[in-house]
Structure 1
Amino acid sequence: MSRILLIAGDFVEDYEIMVPFQALQAMGHEVHAVCPEKREGDSIKTAIHDFEGDQTYTEKPGHHFTLNATFAETDPADYDALVVPGGRAPEYLRLNERVLELVRHFMEYEKPVAVICHGAQLLAAATSLEGLRVSAYPACAPEVTLAGGDFAEIEVDQAITCGKLVSAPAWPAHPAWLKQFNTLLD
């Protein structure tokens, strides 16, 4: 069993927080979901992003997700792996230096990291992606490239593993993304 840190914020993508949170627990892992300035028991708002034939995804109100750990008390050394869901949260979470420090810890210590969709924005803001093949929502490709990464343009239901990093373009990739991430946790 691994201890996994999940970093999120308001308007995280609903499926991209709830599915890995529940699935990883069902696999026997301990998952702590945190958000800056929030405590265990607080909730964050989620957004549902869907692909309906428009030039980009649509966004609808999601659910309230209850956090089960306190951000201010988070020590990355206590965790074996990191999950960064997408949605709009990574866009502003990357402005929080403590969040970036947490992400850097997992990358520097070569612990398993799973990012999906816009989660790559947080990764690109925290560290160099030099030598890494990284997938993300296509609109994040410039950030991956500017951070030195090789953007992996893959199907929306696929995932890619590069070293200890598992990445995917969006929630339709959950089966592949979670399977690859779980392999790194064993």
Structure 2
Amino acid sequence: MNKREQRISERKKRQRVARIKGWWLLLLYGVGIFAFFKSFSLYRDTFIGYQLPLGGGLIFGLVVSFIFNKDYRYYFAPVIPLMGIFTTIMLSVNSLFADKKTVMLKEIIIEKHHQYRRSSPYAIIKFRDFERSIPASTDAEIDSMSYGVLRVNKGLFGYYVIRDKKLVKE
């Protein structure tokens, strides 16, 4: 093989590697953005402060981006998707491997929000230092309720996971 054919072969190989790398990055961003938004729903059902998942995810994203990213102009680009993946995995593992023992919590409603335009009525309860909302079907229902009852399990990492929530009169 002469030098010209060798250069053409090397260029095709680099293009093939770039194409494969592009698909992997596209897959990473797709899964990462989905996981980022999924982590919000998992967070709403877990009694955990935002600092641990957000801080751990940020550190994970920065470290992995530093290790695998050779072009430092794009160093911060994969941090958000990697942060979402880490947070979703951490909260999912906490929920999936939760203790089988169910605990019922009866908490006083601290705020009531009525239906306004597009938002449904809901009540806010407070457990330890965490506030969570419990949806209601009508304004009349939310006015008559005084407690929120939560059915929770203790997660693998020690954070309670909400399995069911409802409003009760007394």
Question: TM-score band, normalised by the shorter chain?
Answer: under 0.3
Higher Rg of the two aligned structures = 2
How high is the TM-score relative to the length of structure 1? 0.20
